[in-house]
Chain A
Amino acid sequence: MEARAHIRPGELPISHEGFLAHKRFRYLKAALLVIVVSVLVYFLADMGGRHNGGTWLGYSLGIISASLIVWLMLLGIRKRAATPGQYNLKGWTSAHVYLGTTLLVLATLHTGFQFGWNLHTLAYALMVLVIISGVIGVYYYATVPRRMSDNRARRTQRDMLDAIDALNRELTQAAQPLDPKYVREVKRAIKKTRIKPGLFISIPASQLRCATTRAAKRLRHAMQSADADMRRPLEQVVAILERKSALLRRTRQHIRNKTLLQLWLYFHVPLSFALLAALAAHIISVFFYW
């Protein structure tokens, strides 16, 4: 995600700068400043007893952290509203990532390192989980898209599905001259192939289990003992099956890449809302029994 400047022929140079490097790491610097200042104040200020959420520093850190959490959650609204200008979505995302990470420090200092089996620590734990899932998301956003576009080779998702369908039709045609025992394999390859890989299975493993790949292997093996007149049509069918298998692999890899880009959000977003609820309960409970 390093900042690069391409010059397209006949065009003005456009800087491609990822959200992490946005404005020369403006928000990373801001986040580091916030962390350094809060840690210094925490260790230098005399709180009379010990640190917790109820001292002036505890309240301040709590207010800052809670407002920050609310602001971070507004990204969900902000990203749906397209607006140009200074505070563009890339800037927001950059700030979201860096300032969100500072919460780890701010909220920890807010707790004064007092943890227990209670609502307050629940809110803290949820926050930590949200941040961890966010960091994972950033990692995938930084690494997956390039692999993804390499894998996709300019095909659209629809292209992939169409191509698979086309190969299936081709298979049907090409299998016409085959013996029934071979046809059975081909039929199974058409009907039983599940494109979508299981969530907890690697792509090579899902390839091994794939009906198309298996059929290709079996028929290639069968080719050696097949009658002479069967060989040519078999060869054609196997060629199509192997192409389909290769295409399936790319498609599955594409699905996996997409999943990697999305799955963390299935933790990040619901956990954020759970955090918001726990935060509200935390604040209300603390002042209910002030």
Chain B
Amino acid sequence: MSDETDADAVDVRGRIDRLLDGDATLVLAVLGAIYLAYVLAGVAFGYGLRGQLNSIANLTFYIGVFGMLALALNLHWGYTGLFNIGIVGFMGIGVYVTALVSKPPVAQGGAAQVGGFGLPLGVGVVAGVVVAALFGLLVALPALRLRADYLAIVTVAFSEIVRFTMMSRTFQSYTVPDTIDLTVAGVQLFSFDPAADTVGLGGGGGLILNYPDPLEALLRTLFLWEPYLGFVGFVQRTLISNNPKPVIDGLVYGLLLLVGVGLFYLLLSRVGKSPFGRVLKAIREDEDVANALGKDTDRFKLTAFVLGSALMGLGGILWYSSRGSITPPSFRPNITFFIWIALIIGGAGSNTGSFLGGAIFAGLLYEGPRYMKNLIETAFELGDAPGNFGTAVAPMASLDPVPFVLYTLDSVSQLRLVIMGVVLVWLMHNRPEGLLGHRKETASSVDLSRPGGRDANDAAAADGGEKR
């Protein structure tokens, strides 16, 4: 008997090892393939080392942000079954609050710009995440009682309200009083002199992010800035003589994003495997049952929603805070749908799948078409594209497809979205569970598969184990 148990334990451990190996291999294989494709494309473009590194940095950036946001969405949808299509609202709140808190006061920012409170960037990031979480609470408190499709409509309406607020003249700028005093019955209790003169959301013109570069701020905090500059100097002397700093900045930022993805992954895996996460999965499978078993499902859903919103806020900050400026049109619902497509490619319910989906989406669907266009343009000497569809199609009558091809290539940024739409429909028809969604983590804490490991598909025993 004891031998058998040991054998079982070994078998389970072996299976877990194999699973982990399989996952790591899969992730590395997919990433390797994407990077290889980009490097080869770079070779075809005749990029030098600088160009190659730049292209890789760009790719890494998008893999990082989409991976992160898909992971955050997985907590909402994959774990808890909350249909949130207001992601971009939380991202926008995160990065706008960061900007408000960390932008220098207006005197340093130029006359037309609104200023900020001039606090360190770290404070700004924390504030952004906290405010995103608070708004998550604000949305979730009333909305979580709703059916999934109603929750979807409420969240997308919320993200649009956020965007209207960013654009509105009403919140464009606001003059901060020189001192804020709290005086009760002639006794001054509190006096505060804010550094800011004007703060605001900047209206349609957006905000110029004139705080210190996030990468520099982070490295300075870690006392790594001087060594980093030394490294950049070394690269300049040995490898790239032509201003290598932006490229290295981009690469390092991309790597930091990948580290961030790793941290998101660890956090969400821990959450998923905790008792809390098991309740979330139970809610996803059947909320009434979880409720009947004495779990306060509203509370669990609320916590999961707030945590996910905070992570989305952080994702937004990491995406946009290193840009020179932010404008409201960046926060259209399209971004939300991009993240959804990434999650569905990877498979809702699986953290590994979420990251893979983010990477594949970023590499193939988001950046890929543009590279394909450049590749074709490099390979063939092509003229100027026609200005509109009419002039592109007209020569087809005389069997001259070139203008149409040129127009198609020129419109690749729109066609990319058509491709995304078609891919989404195809996935929902043929593989709605995505790449790894079939391995959706189950709610139970113990292995419910049949003993002996003969049951290869890891399915939970739904018949109570009667049909041995």
Tell me whether A and B are bound partners: no
